[in-house]
């Protein structure tokens, strides 16, 4: 009998995760560790279910921030990369600013943003700032990576700037752009969480990071773990979704998306 | 020569890094001929082709273009197939037609025509990666022919292919040349290929890139696989080889392998 290759591929990682959870559960139970020191995975799951109304409402808030920030970062990063590819002096002029924003830790910028902006906007800007740069950098690299001979060919046939951009530079840049979006997606979540942590209780609608702080004050450790687990799941989901989008768009032609034996 | 499509008058090309790619080159491409620039790597033969195409400007001298300055009068085939990997074969061939705003119906018909010319009519829907190297090169040739160019430029198009495929494509190219009555300027470093294909060969030498000998091939020379073993074919090959060797021997020994500063 032939086993599905998908099962073989994912079996090792699933086994590792299962083993880790099992070991964790065993240590807590056998060692009689109290839940406020370390809750067992089963208790975290129970807490997740019993507190689902609050926690999932917070998850939605955090995800909204993340995806709004990612969307703005994609649109903004792409537009700026296109401008960079058309006018090199613009790249030289603006890149230092972008790099400075990128290398300054977001957690250090967040309190300042909270001084000037409403909490919701400040959190959004935090998420945007960290997601923006990898998308910009990758898109700029991609737009400059078109095959030189194809560039010559377009010139030979009198292609306009616009035609070269649309039919050559953008498609050639697509794998790079998608790579940037995939990194940016994960970073947007991190930025949103960092922003929420800095904002604390000042927001009207509160995200998952605030739930963690709140549970920490109450020494509700199982709930902290439950919120943390949700953040992890959200991060994994974002990565999987963006990878799927990338695969779907590139599967016909790009090396990265080709099946083995093809 | 009044039937020249393009002529070089004392053309020189100096690259910014100091390499003299071409020096004092006089050259004319005459309507209907198959002209080959034959030479070792670094002799400026590809540069000459790029000057003809207008992709680069001469540093000195003059490139006179009798052909109309309209995109599409010159087709270019690169050393690699240079296809857009994200586009299907028919979309790749359609590209020049689209850029030149040929009406969609006519364009579609032309694509079918040129794909049939290179024997790939059934592969229009395929993606480049699904084809072999030889087939990809045929697509590249089909694309270059799509706008029915008066002059077809080919920069070592078959250099990366295996010999069997290369011989087949040589024959295909001769057939296309006859059917379409295009003028072809071809660049190669293969003596055998140059004699087999051309009506005229310009033998070039490196450092600086220049033309050292012109060999006119008798149009009556049979061009089929048997002819590759014929005495007259071998004679031409010997002549071209000697010209290449002679040009190489002229160089002082220390210049061999060293770059022009």
Would you list the domain boundaries of chain A?
Answer: 1-33, 37-257
- Across the beta sheet with B210-216, the strand order is B74-77, B151-155, B183-188, B34-38, B200-205, B210-216
Q: Is residue B236 part of a domain?
A: yes
pLDDT at A67 over 80: yes
Q: Give B156's contacts in chain A (Cβ within 8 Å).
A: none
A48 vs A56: CA distance, rounded Å: 9
Q: Is residue B113 part of a domain?
A: no
Structure tokens of A7? 């099962």
The model's pLDDT over B146-175, given as tens digits with 9 standing for 90+, comes to 999 999 999 999 998 999 999 999 999 999
Pairwise CB contact (< 8 Å): B129 & A253: yes
Type and span of the H or E element at B37: strand B34-38
Q: Is B188 exposed, middle or buried (0-12, 13-18, 19+ CB in 10 A)?
A: buried
Predicted confidence at residue A259, as pLDDT, reads 57
Pairwise CB contact (< 8 Å): A154 & B85: no
Q: What's the gap in Å between the CA of A7 and the closest CA on chain B?
A: 28
The CA-based angle A50-A51-A54, given to 5 degrees, is 150
Predicted confidence at residue A202, as pLDDT, reads 64
Q: Is residue B249 part of a domain?
A: yes
B133 CB near a chain A CB, below 8 Å? no
pLDDT at B45 over 80: yes
Q: Is residue B96 part of a domain?
A: no
B53 CB near a chain A CB, below 8 Å? yes
Residues A202, A141 contacting (CB under 8 angstroms): no
A104 vs A92: CA distance, rounded Å: 20
Residue with tokens 């507190």: A51
Predicted confidence at residue A178, as pLDDT, reads 96
Q: Is residue B229 part of a domain?
A: yes
DSSP-derived letter for residue B53 is H
Q: Is residue B36 part of a domain?
A: yes
Nearest Cα residue in chain B from A166: B99
* Tally of CB atoms within 10 A around B66: 15
| Out of A75-79, B182-186, B252-256, least confident range | B252-256
Predicted confidence at residue A20, as pLDDT, reads 96
* Tally of CB atoms within 10 A around B96: 27
Predicted confidence at residue B255, as pLDDT, reads 44
B190 vs A204: CA distance, rounded Å: 76
Residue A5 makes CB contacts below 8 A (sequence gap 6+) with: none
For residue B34, the cross-strand partners are B184
Give the mean pLDDT of chain A: 90
CATH pick for A37-257 out of 3.40.190.10, 1.10.510.10, 3.40.50.300, 1.10.3720.10: 1.10.3720.10
pLDDT at B257 over 50: no
Nearest Cα residue in chain B from A250: B86
B105 vs B115: CA distance, rounded Å: 16
Residue with tokens 């700032």: A129
Q: Where are the alpha helices (DSSP H) in chain B?
A: 45-53, 89-99, 104-117, 133-145, 163-180, 191-197, 231-250
Average of per-residue pLDDT across A70-75:
97
Structure tokens of A204? 């009207």
CA distances for B87 relative to A150, A167, A171, B113, B220, angstroms = 13, 10, 9, 19, 42
ipTM of model: 0.87
For residue B117, the cross-strand partners are none
Predicted confidence at residue B258, as pLDDT, reads 43
Instruction: Let me know how long chain B is.
Output: 261
B237 vs A214: CA distance, rounded Å: 87
Predicted confidence at residue A173, as pLDDT, reads 96
Strands B200-205 and B74-77: unpaired
In this complex, which of A147, A158, A174 lies closest to B99 when CB atoms are compared?
Answer: A158
Nearest to B211 by CA among B55, B8, B5: B8
In this complex, which of B84, B100, B129 lies closest to A150 when CB atoms are compared?
Answer: B84
Type and span of the H or E element at A81: helix A52-86
A184 vs B29: CA distance, rounded Å: 54
Pairwise CB contact (< 8 Å): A149 & B82: yes
CA distances for A30 relative to A18, A22, A34, A246, B42, angstroms = 18, 12, 11, 45, 76
Q: Is residue B35 part of a domain?
A: yes
A31 vs A42: CA distance, rounded Å: 15
Mutate to test the interface with A, among B92, B99, B110 (most CBs of A within 10 A): B99
Q: Give B151's contacts in chain A (Cβ within 8 Å).
A: none
Structure tokens of B188? 């190669």
Instruction: Please give the model's pTM, rounded to 2 decimal places.
Output: 0.86
Q: Is residue B151 part of a domain?
A: no
Structure tokens of A215? 């549970």
Residue B171 makes CB contacts below 8 A (sequence gap 6+) with: B223, B224, B225
Pairwise CB contact (< 8 Å): B99 & A163: yes
* Tally of CB atoms within 10 A around A29: 11
The domain tally of chain B equals: 1
Residue with tokens 């991190």: A190
The model's pLDDT over B176-212, given as tens digits with 9 standing for 90+, comes to 999 998 999 999 999 999 999 999 999 999 888 999 9
Pairwise CB contact (< 8 Å): B95 & A167: yes
Q: Give B78's contacts in chain A (Cβ within 8 Å).
A: 149, 152-153
Predicted confidence at residue B260, as pLDDT, reads 43
For residue B155, the cross-strand partners are B187
Burial per residue of B130-142, b for 16 or more beta-carbon CB atoms within 10 angstroms, e otherwise: ebeebbbbbbbbb
pLDDT at B253 over 60: no
In this complex, which of B71, B84, B127 lies closest to A157 when CB atoms are compared?
Answer: B71
Using DSSP's 3-state secondary structure scheme, residue A36 falls into coil
The model's pLDDT over A212-255, given as tens digits with 9 standing for 90+, comes to 999 999 999 999 999 999 999 999 999 999 999 999 999 888 87
Interface of A with B (CB under 8 A): 147, 149-150, 152-159, 163, 167-168, 171-172, 174, 252-254, 258
* Tally of CB atoms within 10 A around A97: 9
pLDDT at A262 over 50: no
The model's pLDDT over B132-153, given as tens digits with 9 standing for 90+, comes to 999 999 999 999 999 999 999 9
Average of per-residue pLDDT across B212-235:
88
Q: What's the gap in Å between the CA of B171 and the closest CA on chain A?
A: 25
The model's pLDDT over B78-136, given as tens digits with 9 standing for 90+, comes to 999 999 999 999 999 999 999 999 999 999 999 999 999 999 999 999 999 999 999 99
Pairwise CB contact (< 8 Å): B82 & A252: no
A147 vs A167: CA distance, rounded Å: 12
Pairwise CB contact (< 8 Å): A171 & B84: yes
């Amino acid at each position: 009998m032939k086993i599905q290759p998908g099962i073989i591929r994912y079996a090792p990682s699933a086994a590792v995760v299962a083993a880790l959870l099992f070991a964790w559960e065993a240590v807590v139970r056998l060692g009689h560790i109290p839940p406020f020191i370390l809750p067992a995975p089963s208790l975290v799951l129970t807490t997740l279910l019993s507190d689902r109304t609050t926690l999932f409402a917070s998850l939605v808030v955090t995800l909204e921030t993340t995806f709004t920030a990612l969307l703005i970062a994609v649109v903004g990063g792409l537009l700026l990369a296109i401008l960079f590819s058309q006018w090199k002096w613009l790249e030289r002029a603006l890149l230092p600013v972008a790099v400075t924003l990128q290398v300054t830790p977001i957690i250090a910028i967040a309190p300042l943003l909270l001084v000037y902006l409403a909490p919701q906007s400040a959190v959004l800007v935090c998420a945007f700032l960290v997601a923006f740069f990898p998308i910009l950098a990758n898109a700029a690299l991609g737009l400059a990576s078109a095959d030189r001979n194809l560039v010559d060919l377009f010139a030979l046939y009198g292609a306009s700037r616009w035609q070269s951009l649309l039919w050559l530079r953008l498609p050639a840049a697509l794998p790079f752009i998608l790579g940037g979006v995939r990194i940016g997606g994960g970073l947007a979540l991190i930025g949103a969480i960092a922003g929420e942590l800095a904002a604390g209780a000042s927001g009207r609608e509160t995200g998952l990071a605030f739930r963690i702080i709140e549970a920490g004050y109450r020494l509700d450790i199982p709930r902290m773990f439950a919120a943390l687990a949700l953040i992890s799941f959200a991060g994994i989901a974002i990565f999987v979704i963006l990878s799927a989008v990338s695969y779907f768009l590139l599967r016909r032609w790009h090396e990265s998306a080709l099946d083995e034996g093809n | 020569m009044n039937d020249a499509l393009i002529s070089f008058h004392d053309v020189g090309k100096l690259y910014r890094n100091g390499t003299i790619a071409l020096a004092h080159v006089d050259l004319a491409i005459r309507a209907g001929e198959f002209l080959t620039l034959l030479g070792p790597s670094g002799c400026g033969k590809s540069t000459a082709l790029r000057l003809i195409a207008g992709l680069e400007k001469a540093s000195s001298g003059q490139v006179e273009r009798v052909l109309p300055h309209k995109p599409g009068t010159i087709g270019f085939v690169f050393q690699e197939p240079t296809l857009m990997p994200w586009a299907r074969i028919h979309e790749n061939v359609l590209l020049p037609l689209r850029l030149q705003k040929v009406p969609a119906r006519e364009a579609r018909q032309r694509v079918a025509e040129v794909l049939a010319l290179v024997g790939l009519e059934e592969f229009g829907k395929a993606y480049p990666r699904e084809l072999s190297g030889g087939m990809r090169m045929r697509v590249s040739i089909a694309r270059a022919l799509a706008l029915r160019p008066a002059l077809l430029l080919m920069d070592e198009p078959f250099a990366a292919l295996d010999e069997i495929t290369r011989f087949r494509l040589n024959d295909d190219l001769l057939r296309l040349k006859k059917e379409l009555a295009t003028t072809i300027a071809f660049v190669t470093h293969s003596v055998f290929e140059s004699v087999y294909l051309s009506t005229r060969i310009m033998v070039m030498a490196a450092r600086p890139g220049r033309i050292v000998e012109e060999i006119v091939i008798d149009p009556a020379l049979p061009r089929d696989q048997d002819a590759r073993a014929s005495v007259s074919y071998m004679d031409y090959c010997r002549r071209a080889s000697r010209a290449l060797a002679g040009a190489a021997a002229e160089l002082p020994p220390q210049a061999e392998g060293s770059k022009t500063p």
